[in-house]
Amino acid sequence: MAILKPGPYGHPNGKIGNMVFYVLNGQNVSRTIGDPGKPSRKQLGNQQSMSVTMKLIKPMKDFINIGFGLEAAGTVKNAYNLATSYNKKQALQGEYPNITVNYSKVVLSKGTLPAAKGISMEKKDTGVLVSWDPYYLDRELRHDDCVMILLYYPLRRKVRSFLNAARREEGKYLVELEEEWLNEPIEAYISFKTADGKEVSDSVYIGNLNGNIESPEEKAKQEKYKKAKERLEQVEADYIRLQQKDEGKHMESKAFRHLEKEYQVLKKKLDDLPGKPG
């Protein structure tokens, strides 16, 4: 999608060839239509990056609306767009087709309010105890600053968010959780906002609780990759053997050409198949 600047003949509107021109959030934009052809590996990587980011951000929308809302104010963008753009660039790791989230780099709010320091997280019988240093700057206490806490559950792709969990001065908050929510892997984040909502801090990654467990989806991908790799190794062994047998006399046979084609297809498939061990 492209953003258009004013020209001597104004702004086009509608369809011209394979281009469509329209207004989005007060801006004149254009995009191509029709079959774009087979995507390149770079394009596939960009598509996967966007997909991974959106799956992460989508359940966090309420938290993000506050966390990026002030930064989005007065612009043509919204909080969700800003959060998606930032985390797509900063919070992903790996290469296509194995792009994943680096949870320690995820940012859920951006602002000028002093961020949380001295944070810790401790598992209790009835929930998670989150602690922070209640002071900032010259040890001045901001009594009215509100604490926002978000717990992300990677296996469920769901969140538990607490947008007014406590006041900064309290220094700790027990997030009460049912047993099933307490014992799963958790990625936790904390932010501050002023009582009047006019300022917000950068979010801070508190850490991981209960370690990392592969989801059924990830296990299925790994199993599929493993089987494809085993098949490729079998075909590759036969392919090399026939190349070397009888000084390569079999290389002109129909059977060899079929084997060569299968080898090339499997090799390409494995390159684009997620689930490769890290």
* 142-156 confidence digits (pLDDT tens): 678 999 999 999 999
User: Cα(122)–Cα(112) distance, rounded to whole angstroms?
Assistant: 28
pLDDT value at 36 more than 50 = yes
49 and 168 in a single domain? The answer is yes
* 219-235 confidence digits (pLDDT tens): 999 999 999 999 999 98
The model carries a pTM of 0.82
* 38 in a structural domain: no
199 and 227 in a single domain? The answer is no
197 and 221 in a single domain? The answer is no
Mean pLDDT of all residues in 238-253? 77
SS (H, E, C) the chain: CEECCCCCCCCCCEEECCEEEEEECCEEEEEECCCCCCCCHHHHHHHHHHHHHHHHHHHHHHHHHHHCHHHHCCCCCCHHHHHHHHHHHHCEECCCCCCEECHHHCCCCCCCECCCCCCEEEECCCEEEEECCCEECCCEECCCCEEEEEEEECCCCEEEEEEEEEEHHHCEEEEECCHHHHCCCEEEEEEEECCCCCCEECCEEEEEECCCCCCHHHHHHHHHHHHHHHHHHHHHHHHHHHHHHHHHHHHHCHHHHHHHHHHHHHHHHHHCCCCCCC
64 and 192 in a single domain? The answer is yes
* 58 in a structural domain: yes
Mean pLDDT of all residues in 182-189? 97
52 and 190 in a single domain? The answer is yes
% of the chain with per-residue pLDDT over 70: 83
pLDDT value at 87 more than 90 = yes
pLDDT value at 165 more than 90 = yes
User: Cα(231)–Cα(266) distance, rounded to whole angstroms?
Assistant: 8
Q: What is the pLDDT of residue 255?
A: 82
Non-local (6+) Cβ contacts of 243 within 8 A are 251
Six token digits for residue 181: 């929510």
Six token digits for residue 63: 């938290």
User: Cα(165)–Cα(149) distance, rounded to whole angstroms?
Assistant: 7
8 and 106 in a single domain? The answer is no
Six token digits for residue 191: 């932010």
pLDDT band at 17 (very low <50, low <70, confident <90, very high): low
111 and 202 in a single domain? The answer is yes
Whether a cis peptide bond, with omega within 30° of 0, leads into 97 is yes
* 109 in a structural domain: yes
Number of domains in the chain: 3
* 45-72 confidence digits (pLDDT tens): 999 999 999 999 999 999 999 999 999 9
User: Cα(239)–Cα(85) distance, rounded to whole angstroms?
Assistant: 45
User: Cα(116)–Cα(190) distance, rounded to whole angstroms?
Assistant: 7
Q: What is the domain extent for residue 18? A: 2-32
Last residue of a domain, one of 166, 188, 209: 209
93 and 165 in a single domain? The answer is yes
Q: What is the pLDDT of residue 1?
A: 47
C-beta atoms surrounding 25 within 10 Å: 10
Q: What is the pLDDT of residue 118?
A: 94
User: Cα(226)–Cα(231) distance, rounded to whole angstroms?
Assistant: 9
Q: What are phi and psi of 93, to 5 degrees?
A: -145, 160
* 37 in a structural domain: no
